[in-house]
Structure 1
Amino acid sequence: MKLPADAAAALQIFQDASGWEQRARLLMQWGERLAPLSDEDRCDANLVSGCESQVWLLGRLNDGHWQFCASSDARLIRGLVALLLARVNGLTAEELRQVDLPGWFNQLGLSRQLSPSRSNGLNAVLKRMRELTQ
C-alpha cells in the first residue's frame, strides 16, 4: 500500500533524524501542526475511550476518502496522533483497515516511545477511526 504524501514526508524526516532527542523535538513539532478543535468539537461524543490522555477525534468522508482531525490535552500524544493522521488521512475505509500501527511507529523510529498505555491509546484512536468508517 502506497503511503499518503504527508506520511511519506514524515517518514523521511524521522528517518533522517539523528537520535532520539531530535525525534522527540520533531514529535512535538508535529503535534503543534494539528489544527485546534473548537469547544463544540471537544465534547464527550468525540472523546476517544481507552486513552489515558484526553483525545478528541472527528472524521468525515470526502469522495470515498476519509479525513480526520484530532486533538489531545497531552503534548506527546498530540504528536503521536498527528503522525497517525498523516498516515491515515486520505485513505479509503478498506485501506484504513489495513494500517499497521506498530509497523508505522517502528518505521518512524518511535516504537520505544510507545509505552503499553500510549500504544493502547493509539490503538483506541485507530479503532475509533475504523468505527467511524462503518
Structure 2
Amino acid sequence: MATEAFEDIAETFEFLDDWEDRYRHVIELGKAMPPLDDSFKVPALKVQGCASQVWLRPVIEGGRFDFQGDSDAMIVRGLVAVLHALYSGLPLAEVGTVDAAAELGRLGLDEHLSSQRSNGLRAMVQRIREEAASRA
C-alpha cells in the first residue's frame, strides 16, 4: 500500500545496481527536499532515538497526513525524504496500517544501514505513526 511517490523510489532502486548508487540516490532525495525552517528545530519536534539530530513537523490538512522534516546528517535527511514519500498524503487512519519495515525492506535499506541508523529510522516511523494516531 505504498504511495506513488514511494513506488517511484522503489522503481529507481531496482535500476541501481549497487548500494553505493542507492546511497547516493537517498542523499540526492534529501538534498531535493525543502529545508525545515530553523524555527521548527525545537525539542518538541526532535525525534528521540536517532544518532543524528532529526526533526519532524506534522502537517495535517483535510484529514490527510503530511510532514516537514530535516536532519543534520545528509543520509538521514535522505531517509526523511524516503519516509515523506511513503507517508505523505495518506489519510490519517491509513498511516498506522503501512508496513514500513516491509516497504523499506523493498529498498534494501535494512541490509545496508548501521544499527544506529536502523534504530533511528524505526524511531522516525514510530514518531510518524504516533503523530497521525493522535490526530486521527
* Superposition TM-score, scaled by structure 1 size: 0.91
1:123 counterpart residue number: 122
4+ residue stretches of structure 1 with deviation over 6 A? none
Distance 2:83 2:93 in 1: 16
Distance 1:105 1:57 in 2: 18
| CA-CA distance at 1:78 after TM superposition | 1.0
Q: Deviations over 1:69-127 (max 9, x none)?
A: 10000111111111111001111222211222221222112222232221211111111
Distance 2:113 2:87 in 1: 18
The amino acid that maps onto 2:29 is W
The amino acid that maps onto 1:127 is Q
Aligned length: 133
Gaps of 5+ in 2: none
Distance 1:114 1:98 in 2: 24
State whether structure 2 residue 23 is matched by structure 1 residue 49: no
Distance 1:51 1:21 in 2: 22
* Superposition TM-score, scaled by structure 2 size: 0.90
| CA-CA distance at 1:7 after TM superposition | 0.7
Gaps of 5+ in 1: none
State whether structure 2 residue 6 is matched by structure 1 residue 4: no
Distance 2:115 2:109 in 1: 13
1:64-103 to 2 correspondences below 5 Å:
64-103=63-102
